[in-house]
Structure 1
Amino acid sequence: MADEYEQNHVHEVYQQIAGHFSATRFKAWPIVEQFLQAQSPGSVGLDVGCGNGKNLTVNKDVFIVASDRSENLARIAMQHQPHSTVVADILQLPHRDAFFDFAISIAVVHHMSTPERRVEAVAEILRTVKPGSGTEPGGKFLVYAWALEQKDSRRGWDKGDPQDIMVPWVRKSKSDQGQEQTFHRYYHLYEEGELERDIEQAGGQVLESGYEKDNWWAIATPKPKPKPAS
């Protein structure tokens, strides 16, 4: 079962490494920062898979509801007041349809272990974002996922390599004379164009897309729903 696999190889790992992981995450990536700064004052947004909440402080003129599947990471993110943080699964978000002005999900959907679940995750976030109507544009959703094409990074993956992999996280224990502990997390490495295809399949319309920091990213909006026949 995919949910059990992700529980063992994603969720439980982040529960164990939350503190160490948080200590290595402290600054928003450039395009994430640019996207958040572009939101109108008073906007209400959603951060799915917020981790330690490092992106919550980028724009002090917006309010963000953050969520993470890891209770330990969500607890760390709660320090970023006045924003709200909840524990939630990306496939079952506890939010109303078409409620948020914008949404972000940074380096999260690649932890879903099947193509169907990755599309479902994107669709679930799009569900919560306001769609366009007439001449009014809809809310925007920024999503990042690790890229397969990383030949210039220290990891060195590239086209032709496996896309479904286990990535180690090494942590030195404070006890046991500093012995190292290694945890393995599941990742799906997105190939060029795959993120855009998932968004389209999930009912979104891609507005922009590109590559940054070994990730593919895209900005999307929910496709307007057709008007009922009169």
Structure 2
Amino acid sequence: MSYPTGSHDTDRAEAKAAEQPSSPSLSANANTSASVDTSSGSSTRPQPSIRDAAAQSPETYEDEHVHSVYESIASHFSSTRYKPWPFIASFLRERVTSGSIGLDVGCGNGKYLGVREGGDVHIVGSDRSPSLVGIARERGFDVAVADGLALPFRARCADFVLCIAVIHHMSTRERRIDALRKLLACVRADGGQVLVYVWALEQSSSRRGWDANSAQDQLVPWVMKANQNKKKDKDDDRDSGGNAVVDTTYERFYHLYREGELEEDLRAAGGRVIESGYERDNWWVIGGHGEEAKP
């Protein structure tokens, strides 16, 4: 079955002011980096790369550069994520049959949970961010707070699982493969499917400008404007005490997937690639259990 290749420009246009591209010449995301003493012009001891820093304590690194960030930006982030991406909506409408039970792991504000409205398909959402889960719950969705590496769902409980823009936040390959393994464990062996989306390394045509030669592990800024929800007036640039207010920048960890890497990781997790492709700066895969899987 083919699906229309839709653009994610709506979400990206809304978030353009928030997600700022990194400057290649100033990136701290190279395999090694050195700090420079500008007063003397001499280099100090090289600093660890993002990959090395994450490997030292993945859980702590993700707490700082993923989980706490989404808690801080939840409301702003949710306001930029309101329209389902066309390919994923097509998957839900065309491939998911009536009576199916599904999961959305990393559901955010729940924008995919209502695609099949009418009660013929039930989707349970989960997210690591209590604030985003709260937003989804206020919209009337069935959601729970859960870590992607410690899902509370019964094995083989679902006909399908969505995991959109989540696994690229895992800071080591072992954790990314484990996350895929956890998704596969949730779907039935006889025909269950998982649909996974991750950011692509190959984004040379996008405003971010990454390509095959860029570092795969990146810290991507999210800028919270100081007066995000205010109409501009002469007093907007100062707080109640008369002090200048400034924008706040949060840095989120991303592992940018090169072509073929997502399929490799799915197979390493024991899965089988059913279909895969590229859509607007993202690699996606639809996978199921390997041939050796038993009901």
TM-score, normalising length from structure 2?
Answer: 0.73
CA contact (8 A) 2:170 2:255 kept: yes
Q: Could you say which residue in structure 1 is the equivalent of 2:7?
A: none
**170-179 vs 201-210, which deviates more?**
170-179
Match of 1:54 among 93, 111, 117: 111
1:40 deviates by 1.1
User: 3-state SS of the aligned residue for 2:138?
Assistant: coil
1:52 deviates by 0.8
**68-77 vs 218-227, which deviates more?**
218-227
Q: Distance in 1 between matches of 2:142 and 2:292?
A: 30
User: 3-state SS of the aligned residue for 1:78?
Assistant: helix
Q: Distance in 2 between matches of 1:103 and 1:226?
A: 17
Matches for 1:81-92 after TM superposition, within 5 Å: 81=140, 83-92=141-150
CA contact (8 A) 2:272 2:291 kept: no
Match of 1:34 among 90, 96, 106: 90
TM-score, normalising length from structure 1?
Answer: 0.93
1:222 deviates by 1.4
Match of 1:9 among 37, 61, 65: 65
1:62 deviates by 1.0
Compute the RMSD of aligned alpha carbons.
1.5
The one-letter amino acid paired with 2:164 is: I
User: How many residues align structurally?
Assistant: 222
1:150 deviates by 0.3
Q: Could you say which residue in structure 2 is the equivalent of 1:135?
A: none
1:84-116: CA deviation from partner (whole Å, max 9, x where unpaired): 100000000001111101000000000000000
- Please say if 1:147 is aligned against 2:200: yes
Q: Distance in 2 between matches of 1:46 and 1:141?
A: 9
Q: Distance in 2 between matches of 1:43 and 1:176?
A: 51
Q: Indicate the percent of aligned positions where both proteins have the same amino acid.
A: 53
Q: Distance in 2 between matches of 1:147 and 1:62?
A: 30
Runs of 4+ in 1 over 4 A off after TM superposition: none
CA contact (8 A) 1:99 1:129 kept: yes
Q: Distance in 2 between matches of 1:221 and 1:109?
A: 17
**Cα distance, 1:123–1:176 mapped onto 2, change above 3 Å:** farther
User: 3-state SS of the aligned residue for 1:116?
Assistant: helix
Q: Distance in 1 between matches of 2:112 and 2:274?
A: 22
1:209 deviates by 0.4
The answer for unaligned runs of 5 or more in structure 1 is 133-137
- Please say if 1:77 is aligned against 2:136: yes
Q: Could you say which residue in structure 2 is the equivalent of 1:202?
A: 269
The answer for unaligned runs of 5 or more in structure 2 is 1-56, 228-235, 239-244
The one-letter amino acid paired with 1:145 is: V
